[in-house]
Amino acid sequence: MPSMPDLKNKLTTVVDRAPAALTSSTQGTGASWADHEVGVWVQLGIGATVGTTPALVVQLQQSKNDNTADASGAADAYTDVSGATVTLSDSDANSAVSFMAYNYNEKYLRLNYTITGSSASFVIGATISANKKS
């Protein structure tokens, strides 16, 4: 029988957005994933949604230096990771949604939240998880 992986010492989870009402577009906080295996798991917890035709696009983004100038050069703005997106609507209220992403190649990752709809609001929390390199 295979042994259970050592999740306590191997898995890292970062809170990109603490659960709260979101009423306008915003970005999460960038975090370095340089010492982790390629492949992240994004988990979204959705609570109440309100508004007329509310929609929320959650997109994984990447940057080589967290959009901050460093010794290697100028600030590198965040760009979308292709295929690492989910669109939520009022039918997703009180649910959990997750997706995996492997096709990024930069050190820093964050989530971008774009909300649309009249008087739209989503209660949402988000985490990003990955395994540490051995």
Q: What is the pTM of this model?
A: 0.90
Report how far residue 102's alpha carbon sits from residue 34's, in angstroms, rounded to the nearest whole number: 13
Q: Where are the domains of the chain?
A: 13-131
Q: Tokens at residue 40, please?
A: 């992240």
Q: pLDDT of 16-70, one tens digit each? A: 999 999 999 999 999 999 999 999 999 999 999 999 999 999 999 999 988 888 7
Q: Strand, coil or helix: what is 42?
A: strand
Please state which of the four CATH numbers 1.10.287, 2.60.120, 1.10.3470, 1.20.1070 is assigned to the domain occupying 13-131.
2.60.120
14 membership: H or E segment, kind and range? strand 11-22
Q: pLDDT of 18-30, one tens digit each? A: 999 999 999 999 9
Report how far residue 113's alpha carbon sits from residue 9's, in angstroms, rounded to the nearest whole number: 30
Q: pLDDT of 84-114, one tens digit each? A: 999 999 999 999 999 999 999 999 999 999 9
